Amino acid sequence: MNNPTLQIGNIELPGIALLAPMAGITDAPFRAIAEAFGAAMVVSEMIASANLVARPSKSQHRELVRKLEHKGKLPHVVQIAGNEEKWLVLGARIAADAGADIIDINMGCPSKKVTNGYAGSALMRVPDRALRLIETVVEASPVPVSVKMRLGWNDESLNAAHIARLAEGAGVQMVAVHGRTRQQFYKGEARWEPVREVVEAVDVPVIVNGDIVDHSSALKALAASRAAGVMIGRGAQGQPWIVGQVNASLKGEQPVPAPVGPGLIALVLNHYEEMLFAYGEKQGVRVARKHLRWYFEAAGLELPGETLRALLTEPDPVRVKTLVKGVLDHHGARVAA
Ligand SMILES: Cc1cc2nc3c(=O)[nH]c(=O)nc-3n(C[C@H](O)[C@H](O)[C@H](O)COP(=O)(O)O)c2cc1C
């Protein structure tokens, strides 16, 4: 591929490998690392738009401010979810006022909490309603709007192409498709071939998503779907640099090497500090635990049960950092040996 880029409305992205939104994971500190390593786009965690506007409590307000935060140079993409025009429109406006360059509508979330209110992937069961919501958001949004969806609700209703066509007609500028149905949740394998039907149905860029974890799977997903780009979610856990690496290799460039040894220690400890800063110490220590675990898993480290337990229960961040450094130092020594 010869220096491929993506155009979303008037916004040109520096490549075609994007970080997928993951609630509770792709927060500002995580997105900053993915961006620093060369991801072409990063998306904020989903914001339920009723929460955005309906008199949030103090802690909800802090959470919203944190979710809307943007520091990087890449376009700021804010994802909204909801099922009522009024909240979605206000959510889109608040996101745009907070500096969003693109508003993404979530039509892929399988969670019962979200789908019971006919939001997230449940909207795919009611295309007319989905269209009405999309039209209202596009009309109200001063910035380009994209939609993220699944293949359909279940195998009997693979209607992503139909909904993408409606969305394009309403003015949506990009569509991302997770190659699973809602009924699958995250089980089974993602299917990339059916995404091709969506690619053929619309002229706006379509992004393929699901089980893409490296250059090889990105190439396979692109070949099967003919999509314009790829979106990587869980594959970036414990290795937020992977999106940038895939982006570089798809451009025919040499990817920045994954950090190892002292570089990895510095990155993990810096990420830890950023999480403590973003969430406050008490919550930050808790939020950080899953990331630490993923870093060790991605590095192929099997920690003794006792060490892992200590890492995942220790409330004092200073002690956690010492433990992390010790474990990674030891690992670095083993790698060098
Ligand atoms: C913990 C978690 C949280 C997620 N949160 C969101 C979200 O807020 N919005 C969204 O559109 N998709 C969300 N997703 C779905 C991912 O964006 C992606 O579509 C899915 O994980 C498949 O891609 P992957 O195989 O690369 O992970 C989430 C997925 C996970 C695992």
**232 Cβ below 6 A of ligand 1:** yes
**46 Cβ below 6 A of ligand 1:** yes
Domain identity same for 209 and 238:
yes
Domain hosting 313: range is: 261-336
* C-alpha–C-alpha distance, residues 260 and 282, integer Å: 29
Residue where a domain stops, chosen among 250, 285, 319: 250
**213 Cβ below 6 A of ligand 1:** no
Domain identity same for 162 and 274:
no
Domain identity same for 139 and 62:
yes
Domain identity same for 322 and 238:
no
What residue type is 19 in one-letter code?
L
pLDDT value, residue 337? 42
Return left, alpha or beta for 92; rule: phi > 0 is left, psi -120 to 50 is alpha, else beta: alpha
Domain identity same for 63 and 141:
yes
pLDDT value, residue 336? 45
| Token pair listed for 79 | 């994802």
- Which tens digits make up the pLDDT trace of 140-162? 999 999 999 999 999 999 999 99
The phi, psi pair for 184, rounded to 5°, reads -75, -15
Domain identity same for 246 and 313:
no
The number of folded domains in the chain is 2
Domain identity same for 166 and 242:
yes
Q: Please check the confidence at residue 252 and state whether its pLDDT lies above 60.
A: yes
- Could you identify the atom of ligand 1 that is nearest to the CA of residue 108? 11
> How is 100-139 classified by DSSP, letter by letter?
-SEEEEEE----HHHHTTT-GGGGGG-HHHHHHHHHHHHH
Establish whether 271 is a catalytic residue. Answer: no
- Could you identify the atom of ligand 1 that is nearest to the CA of residue 79? 9
Domain identity same for 155 and 135:
yes
Domain identity same for 45 and 160:
yes
Domain identity same for 69 and 214:
yes
Residue where a domain stops, chosen among 213, 229, 250: 250
- Which tens digits make up the pLDDT trace of 192-235? 999 999 999 999 999 999 999 999 999 999 999 999 999 999 99
Domain identity same for 157 and 273:
no
Q: How far is the CA of 20 from the centre of ligand 1 (A)?
A: 6
pLDDT (average), residues 156-181: 97
Domain identity same for 192 and 285:
no
Q: For residue 218, what are the CA distances in angstroms to 45, 66, 82, 187, 314?
A: 23, 31, 30, 19, 38
227 lies in some domain:
yes
256 lies in some domain:
no
Q: Residue 205: which CATH number?
A: 3.20.20.70
Residue where a domain stops, chosen among 226, 250, 274: 250
